Every structure is written in C-alpha cells, then in structure tokens.
Homo-oligomer: A and B are copies of this chain.
C-alpha cells in the first residue's frame, strides 16, 4: 500500500477531491501517478496537505498567496525584484529591518554544515 487514491486522501486530509486536484493544478502538492493515471498520495504529500490547510486557516491567506511564495522561491529574478521594491525606502523604519527577510542565500554553507551536524 503506502499510497492513497484521491478519495482516500481527501478523507484523511479534510480537503475535497475537487480541491486536491485544484491544489495540484496550483502547483502546490503534486501526487505521483499510477501507470493508468490515478493520483497516488504518499505520506509526505498527505502531511503537506494537512499543514497547508493549517497554514491557510491560521493566517487567513489563500492558495494563490502560497503559490506566489512558491514562485518567488524558484524564480530568483522575481524574488530579487520584489525584495528590491520592498526595500526601496520603506516608510516605517521597522520595515527596513523586516525587508531583510528576502535576503538571499549567502549562508548556504552554514545551512549545509548545520544539516550535517
């Protein structure tokens, strides 16, 4: 076993089958496929679906928001442009600090070392 079909996944995650397809189309959680095209949700995907639901509810954000964050995550140009715009003379002084978030991955080495340790 080890993989659930869409209706089973829906039952255990709280999403509707319809929404699972939508979430996939949004590029957020893509299950494997059986040889005949059936969606097969593994433990990782199920967990991701549950935490996604929690994330959306907890901060009252939408799938499209998370999708945008994901897009920034793998489009450096977009990420950079947005970061630069946000940094550009943020009115409130705290913002100057906060906009620090999108600061790029200069500490990749540290992250790798930490992961090993």
Q: A-side interface residues toward B, CB under 8 Å?
A: 30, 44, 47-48, 51-52, 55, 58-59, 61, 64-66, 68-70, 72-79, 81-82, 85-86, 88-89, 91, 94-95, 97-105, 107-108, 111
Q: B82 contacts A55, CB within 8 Å?
A: yes
Residues of the B chain whose Cβ atoms lie less than 8 Å from the Cβ of A30: 91
| Contacts known (A68-B68, A104-B100); A44 close to B89, Cβ less than 8 A | yes
| CB of A102 to closest CB in B, whole Å | 6
Q: A103 contacts B107, CB within 8 Å?
A: yes
| Copies, count | 2
Cα distance A64–B55 in the bound complex, in angstroms: 18
Q: B78 contacts A94, CB within 8 Å?
A: no
| CB of A19 to closest CB in B, whole Å | 17
Task: Please list 15 pairs of residues, one from A and one from B, whose beta carbons are closer than 8 Å in the complex, sorted by A's number.
Answer: A44-B89, A48-B89, A51-B85, A51-B88, A52-B85, A55-B85, A59-B77, A59-B81, A61-B68, A66-B82, A73-B99, A79-B101, A97-B105, A100-B104, A100-B111
